[in-house]
């Protein structure tokens, strides 16, 4: 795959990058080099290779999901103007 001058200008427009006429050939070469590298990666045999998100094996740390009051509900509502049973009371906004 190769990028032409028109495509470079379109990419620059979509990326909201100001590109002068003098910069277009350089960017065209850079984009073509990137695309040729990606084409090289398509030639690599990856049969039997597991997908990964990191080069080191990682296990996601998880905690038990449980609903609690945080252990100090009185501190949470102490500065509220009006409370009831450790809940904030607010004016009704929907009729």
The answer to whether position 38 is within a domain reads yes
So what's the pLDDT on residue 67?
Answer: 84
The count of structural domains within the chain is 1
Task: Tell me what pLDDT residue 7 has.
Answer: 95
- 3: nearest Cα among 32, 23, 41: 32
Would 27 be classed as within a structural domain?
A: yes
54 inside domain: no
Domain assignment present for residue 62? The answer is no
Q: Is the pTM of this model over 0.85?
A: no
- Residue 12 forms part of a structural domain: yes
Instruction: Give per-residue burial for 61-95: e unless 16+ CB within 10 Å, then b.
Output: eeeeeeeeeeeeeeeebeeeeeeeeeeeeeeeeee
Which residue segment(s) compose the domain that 20 sits in? Answer: 5-42
- pLDDT confidence of residue 60: 82
Does a structural domain hold residue 21?
Answer: yes
Is residue 94 domain-resident? no
3-state secondary structure the chain: CCCCHHHHHHHHHHCCCCCCCCCHHHHHHHHHHHHHHHHHHHCCCCCCCCCCCCCCCCCCCCCCCCCCCCCCHHHHHCCCCCEECCEECCCCCCC
Per-residue model confidence as pLDDT tens for the chain (95 residues): 789 999 999 999 999 999 999 999 999 999 999 999 999 988 999 898 888 878 888 788 888 888 877 788 888 899 999 999 888 999 888 87
């Amino acid at each position: 795959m190769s990028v032409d001058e028109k495509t470079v200008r379109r990419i620059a427009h979509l990326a909201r990058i100001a590109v002068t006429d003098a910069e277009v050939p350089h960017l065209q070469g850079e984009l073509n080099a990137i695309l040729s590298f990606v084409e090289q990666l398509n030639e690599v045999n990856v049969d039997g290779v597991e997908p990964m998100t990191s080069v080191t094996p990682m296990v996601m740390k998880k905690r038990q999901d449980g609903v609690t009051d945080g252990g100090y509900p009185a501190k949470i509502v102490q500065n509220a103007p009006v409370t009831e049973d450790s809940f904030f009371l607010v004016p009704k906004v929907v009729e």
